[in-house]
Amino acid sequence: MDTVGGWNKGTRAGSAVPSTRGIYRRDDVFAFRCVVQREVLADWAKRRRPFGWPCADVINDVINLDAQLVPVGCKGSINRGMEWRICFIYGELKLTDTLNECQYKLYILLKMINKELLHPICSGEMSSYIMKNVTFWVVETHSQEIFRYEHPMHVLQIALKFLQTALVDNNLPYYMIPERNLLVGRTTEKERTGLISKIEELINEGERIIYRLPNYARLWRLSLSTNLNKRESVGTNWNFWS
């Protein structure tokens, strides 16, 4: 593990190189600014949203935030070393900021389940980024009335079923560009079967799933409006090439 300025660098994950220093964590990403996001997100901006999330003002904000071009290719591609990927980090942070408390805690619950229960099956290939995309899709495609503080386990069941269906189909569309499949090259057939089986087990457990999550109680003491969003917003250190 490399150490620079007191930060301990980890292994690259996608476009990011994670680093830690004590209780702090950050991701270092090298990228080019990309200012064609309005054209790239044209279909995303105009697609039908029967439940009104995100609202028109947020959509307008997102398409006016710069995108990033990072040197990361598609998993399994023979040209992976020469490919680039367009990202919408600031746009996705804007979307995350609009989540209500129940919606954000759904995202955190999915990350906890991923870390504690899914990672052992597939060596970490099921990333937090996948869980964020699951959250976005579930929030967009369901009535906002179900996302209440008293309904966290109900919406978790919906999200787990969504993720399970994606694994069965071996296709999880990227929320911003649905033509991009986030599951390409991530798992072997054996790992995918194991994940599907594990998620079915969790769905059948219902609310008892909380006993598998040692940090569950701490989750409900976190504040969405202060701690959660701030930590996610400042966690990425962008280094732009000129």
Query: Domain range spanning residue 225?
Result: 3-240
pLDDT of residue 213: 82
Q: 121: Cβ–Cβ under 8 A, 6 or more apart, which residues?
A: 191, 194, 195, 198
Distance in angstroms (rounded) separating the CA atoms of residues 159 and 119: 17
**230: confidence class by pLDDT, cuts 50, 70, 90:** very low
Task: Read off the amino acid at residue 35.
Answer: V
Gyration radius from the chain CA atoms? 18
**Of all residues in the chain, what percent carry a pLDDT higher than 70?**
82
Which stretch of DSSP H or E encloses residue 80? Answer: none
Q: What is the mean pLDDT of the chain?
A: 85
Q: What is the mean pLDDT of residues 73-89?
A: 78
- Of 122, 117, 153, 158, whose CA–CA distance to 137 is shortest? 158
pTM: 0.84
Distance in angstroms (rounded) separating the CA atoms of residues 13 and 4: 18
Residue range 173-214, pLDDT digits in tens: 999 999 999 999 889 999 999 999 999 999 999 888 888 887
Distance from the first to the final alpha carbon of the chain: 28
Residue 43 has pLDDT above 90, yes or no: yes
pLDDT of residue 157: 96
pLDDT of residue 162: 99
Q: What is the mean pLDDT of residues 141-167?
A: 93
Q: Among 20-29, 60-69, 114-123, which range has the highest average pLDDT?
A: 60-69
**226: confidence class by pLDDT, cuts 50, 70, 90:** very low
**15: confidence class by pLDDT, cuts 50, 70, 90:** low
The answer to which of 29-33, 34-38, 50-54, 165-169 has the lowest mean pLDDT is 29-33
Distance in angstroms (rounded) separating the CA atoms of residues 224 and 87: 24
Residue range 89-134, pLDDT digits in tens: 999 999 999 999 999 999 999 999 999 999 999 876 789 999 999 9
pLDDT of residue 125: 78
Number of domains present in the structure of the chain? 1
pLDDT of residue 224: 43
**3: confidence class by pLDDT, cuts 50, 70, 90:** low
**233: confidence class by pLDDT, cuts 50, 70, 90:** very low
**Higher model confidence: residue 125 or residue 88?**
88
Residue 40 has pLDDT above 80, yes or no: yes
Phi and psi (nearest 5°) for 54?
-75, 160
Pairing outcome for strands 24-34 and 7-9:
unpaired
In the chain, DSSP finds a helix count (H) and a strand count (E) of 11, 7
